[in-house]
Structure 1
Amino acid sequence: MTFPRAFRSYIPRTHCINEHVYGAIVVTPNNEVAVIKGRQSGKWSFPKGHGYANESPLDACLRELREETGLELSNYKADEQVRFPTGTYFIFHINEKSTLIPEDLKEVEEVQWIPIDQLCTLRGNMDLRLFARRFIAM
């Protein structure tokens, strides 16, 4: 099964948390994804964050992506959405890999591209771990 078809029916029903976040899963043609390492948590995750009152979920996702990775994807359309315990992630397939330069150095310690099949080697947050387990199991 190919990415992201594997996740069309994947909606975790346990561990739901009220603090909803919006994030991005950005995939390159070589099946690499952009991940960030949180400065406070020391854990890897997909770029994500809380939306403002006047923002749509997609706008919040794109803003957080720009702040945490430097990627500007306003010209891209999200291929689909995946719901995880803490939030909703928009999946974007991009044509080529760009250099990742975070704007928000208070929250982000490190940012990098990593092959999807290596996600399980990271010390990740809950959503990243669930994604990695689900994807690698396919």
Structure 2
Amino acid sequence: MHGERKSWNGAAAIVMAENQVLMVKEKESGGWSIPSGGIEAGETPEQACLREVWEETGFRVNILKPLHVKRTIIKNHDVALHYFLCEVTEGQISYHDPDDAIEEIAWKTSRELYGLIHDYPEDRELLLSF
């Protein structure tokens, strides 16, 4: 059918350490966001979250708890993005993303979050709540 929306499901990680949040900067937009990406076939949202954090930042994380699911429509897709609060278990900043979409990975303080260009500005309040 023409005009029928597709679904896209993703997972996003709020990774906290010492009152800083792990952020990635997209090459294309120049904006910052938390590590996130699509859920692949056969993956749970939790598995996708762990994989995306590893690919985009080089850190292995534990999920502390699921937070919420953001539902929105982007470019004719019904988007459901699962948010998880995570902690680092091991690793250091490094890059394994097959999409090669990230230009910078950094820990940001709440004060720094205010000054960043956010790809998803609606996430800023959520990030600041931690």
- TM-score by length of structure 1 reads 0.71
CA deviation after TM superposition for structure 1 residue 135, in Å: 5.2
Q: How does 1:10-49 map to 2 (within 5 A)?
A: 18-28=7-17, 30-49=18-37
CA contact (8 A) 2:27 2:102 kept: yes
Q: In the alignment, does 2:42 pair up with 1:50?
A: no
Aligned partner of 1:70 in structure 2 is: 58
**Structure with more helix by fraction:** 1
**Structure with more strand by fraction:** 2
Structure 2 CA distance for partners of 1:55 and 1:124, relative to 1, 3 Å: same
CA deviation after TM superposition for structure 1 residue 38, in Å: 0.9
Aligned partner of 2:96 in structure 1 is: 103
CA deviation string 1:112-133 (max 9, x = no partner): 000134212111112xx22323
Aligned partner of 1:81 in structure 2 is: 67
The ranges of structure 1 where at least 4 consecutive aligned residues each deviate by more than 6 angstroms after the TM superposition are none
Larger CA deviation: 50-59 vs 109-118 = 109-118
Aligned partner of 2:75 in structure 1 is: none
User: Which residue type is aligned with residue 66 of structure 1?
Assistant: W
DSSP-derived class of the 2:64 partner: coil
Q: In the alignment, does 2:124 pair up with 1:132?
A: yes
Number of residue pairs matched? 116
DSSP-derived class of the 2:41 partner: coil
Q: Percent identity between the aligned chains?
A: 28
DSSP-derived class of the 1:40 partner: coil
CA contact (8 A) 2:60 2:88 kept: no
CA RMSD of aligned residues (A): 2.6
CA deviation after TM superposition for structure 1 residue 47, in Å: 0.4
Structure 2: unaligned runs, 5 residues or longer: 1-5, 72-78
Structure 2 CA distance for partners of 1:57 and 1:95, relative to 1, 3 Å: closer
CA deviation after TM superposition for structure 1 residue 95, in Å: 7.2
